[in-house]
Amino acid sequence: MRAPDEKIQGRWASELEAELPTRIHHAVWEWVEKRPDAVALIDHKVHWRYGDLVAVIDGTQRWLVEQGLRPGDRLMVVSENGRALVALLLAASRMDVWVAVINARLAPNEIDAIRDNCQPRRILYTVEVSEDAARHAERHGAASVPAGDLGELAVGPLNAVDPLPVEADGNQVAAMIYTSGTTGQPKGVMLTHRGILFISRVSGGMRLLAPGRNVYGVLPTSHVFGLSSVAIGALANGACLHTVPRFDPVDLVDALAHREIGVVQGVPAMYARTLEYLAREGVTLEAPSLVYLSAGGAPLDLDLKRRVESVFGTTLHNGYGLTEASPTVSQTRIGEINETVTVGKVLPGLEYRLILPMSRQEVLRGEVGELWLRGPNIMKGYFRNEAATRAVLDDEGWLNTGDMGRVDVEGNLYIVGRSKELIIRSGFNVYPPDVEAVLNEHPLVTLSAVVGRPVAGNEEVVAYVQPVPGAALTEQELAEFAAQRLSAYKRPSEIIFMDNLPATATGKILKGHLRDLARQSADS
């Protein structure tokens, strides 16, 4: 089924798609010409206007050429958010250089595994904004050097690697985002200029990214949500990007009150931590310029949605995506009021199917099936991993998301869980988000994560819970709370409290790690 066309800020999505530039920097240059005096980026005390970007990108390009970068090369940047990363992305676009954006907070073995797969011409480290990047730079023997407008960077050695062919159209690879690799070797997702710009223009336009809008850029640009929807999304729509290296609820509250922030895009864990901070400190949130608030990257439960909307005074929009889709697949629309946890309608320009995994037959509307997608935002494939690419991307361009979903009569999509995370208990299907939503309703619970644990001839439900700090909550009390709200087969066999649930830099819970812990506890 093809999602219907829609108007976005007065223009049809199909028109926006047809007019997409072939390179990321072209979209930004449009605003250099239209609004040269408008502020494009704020990085602490540094303010760049759109007119300033001409000299910044010219200088960054010259510097990269001096570092030996050529068209078709891969540049690996170990980083956290800041002006240097934005300038490198735009200059690399101009040079037809791929940028592998790597979160500096990854462990040394993860960074090294990515380096070995990527085989970059150079590795750069944004040491000015990231102590973790500085540690990786020191470990790799990279020297820190001044880099003009970019501040201080550490530069790794020049590697003797061959550049790859450059494609003249928008199918040229712009960036590689690596999967976390927590359950195996990380995979480099090859994202094209066209795919990133489609999300930036279409999805970004729906999120009110527009001239004069201040965008809170805290989602890591090393994650595709932060790259396409926030960083490039802001600049490709003429907005102002406020770069923030790491999430801190204190800074978010201050930014909303004093920095005229109009758009905040985050993950559910970010909002949960903000509510916890406000309650603990007795602070009242002030957000006079806020016009758009959204969550993505992880399931959003209805209780958290309602609490956030009550405190922030506006709708918390929901959405769904994945790295391989650059990332957005669906999102709720402005003006709609949803008293559910729908992830909204599929974006215009995309095709989707919901099928039974074994028979490959499409399910009826309202029934649960495995979600497949096709559209301009779908990845080119996994870098140097043809087998993994073939496992999820067929010859007709259809991507198997691995997620289970359903679509209601109004066209709203609901994600019920990962097909691989489905728990089958005594013949019944248990979708972890259903159980997590109930546990998160308890006022003394900040976050929860539910996984399956194999037992003889069956599977049981294990819940990991992060209570509010200092809360006098017991496992028995929470179990009784859940028992009043869940069918017997959905109730956790075991509840395990943790001070902090293991998570990525974006707040996504590392369920693979929790599954390992659950199996280990069963074996001991």
Q: What is the mean pLDDT of residues 38-50?
A: 96
- Could you give the CA distance from residue 412 to residue 332 in angstroms, rounded to a whole number? 8
pLDDT at 266: 94
Q: Which amino acid is at 43?
A: D
Q: Convert the pLDDT of each residue in 78-104 to its tens digit.
A: 999 999 999 999 999 999 999 999 999
Q: Which two tokens stand for residue 23?
A: 């390179």
pLDDT at 184: 56
Q: Convert the pLDDT of each residue in 169-211 to its tens digit.
A: 999 999 999 985 434 578 999 999 999 999 999 999 999 999 9
Q: What is the mean pLDDT of residues 112-130?
A: 96
| Domain at 421-523, CATH class | alpha beta
State the chain's maximal CA–CA distance in angstroms: 67
pLDDT(133) > 90: yes
pLDDT at 348: 98
Specify which residues 107 forms β-bridges with. none
CB 261 within 8 A of CB 214: yes
Q: 278: which residues sit within 8 A by CB, 6+ positions away?
A: 249, 253, 284, 285, 311
Q: What is the mean pLDDT of residues 163-170?
A: 96
Q: What percent of the chain has pLDDT over 90?
A: 81
pLDDT(423) > 90: no
Q: Which of 108-112, 247-251, 275-279 shows the lowest mean pLDDT across its residues?
A: 108-112
Enumerate the H helices of 119-262 as residue ranges.
Answer: 131-139, 193-198, 204-206, 224, 233-236, 249-258
Q: Convert the pLDDT of each residue in 273-328 to its tens digit.
A: 999 999 999 999 999 999 999 999 877 889 899 999 999 999 999 999 999 999 99
pLDDT(116) > 70: yes
Mean pLDDT of the chain: 93
Of 110 and 56, the structure prediction assigns the larger pLDDT to: 56
Q: How confident is the model at residue 440 (pLDDT cuts 50, 70, 90)?
A: very high
pLDDT at 180: 59
Q: What H or E segment, with its residue span, contains residue 269?
A: helix 268-281
Q: 259: which residues sit within 8 A by CB, 6+ positions away?
A: 214, 242
- Could you give the CA distance from residue 333 to residue 331 in angstroms, rounded to a whole number? 6
User: What does residue 118 show for φ and ψ, rounded to 5 degrees?
Assistant: -70, -40
Q: What is the pTM of this model?
A: 0.85
pLDDT(66) > 90: yes
Q: Convert the pLDDT of each residue in 7-22 to its tens digit.
A: 999 999 999 999 999 9
Q: Which of 116-130, 134-148, 452-466 shows the lowest mean pLDDT across its residues?
A: 452-466
DSSP string, 24-58: HHHHHHHHHHH-TTSEEEEETTEEEETTHHHHHHH
pLDDT at 183: 43
Q: How confident is the model at residue 489 (pLDDT cuts 50, 70, 90)?
A: confident
pLDDT(40) > 90: yes
Q: Which amino acid is at 67?
A: Q
- Could you give the CA distance from residue 232 to residue 391 in angstroms, rounded to a whole number? 29
pLDDT at 232: 98
Q: What is the mean pLDDT of residues 498-517?
A: 86
pLDDT at 182: 39
- Could you give the CA distance from residue 370 to residue 58 in angstroms, rounded to a whole number? 46
pLDDT(524) > 70: no
pLDDT at 504: 78
Domain 7-407 CATH superfamily: ANL, N-terminal domain (3.40.50.12780)
Helix, coil or strand: residue 466: strand
- Could you give the CA distance from residue 440 to residue 280 in angstroms, rounded to a whole number? 18
User: What does residue 148 show for φ and ψ, rounded to 5 degrees?
Assistant: 60, -125
Helix, coil or strand: residue 126: coil
pLDDT at 523: 67
pLDDT at 181: 45
- Could you give the CA distance from residue 161 to residue 98 in angstroms, rounded to a whole number? 13
Q: Which two tokens stand for residue 125?
A: 């480290």
Domain ranges of the chain: 7-407, 421-523
CA proximity to 257, closest of 287, 291, 284: 287
Of 303 and 359, the structure prediction assigns the larger pLDDT to: 303
- Could you give the CA distance from residue 238 to residue 116 in angstroms, rounded to a whole number? 37
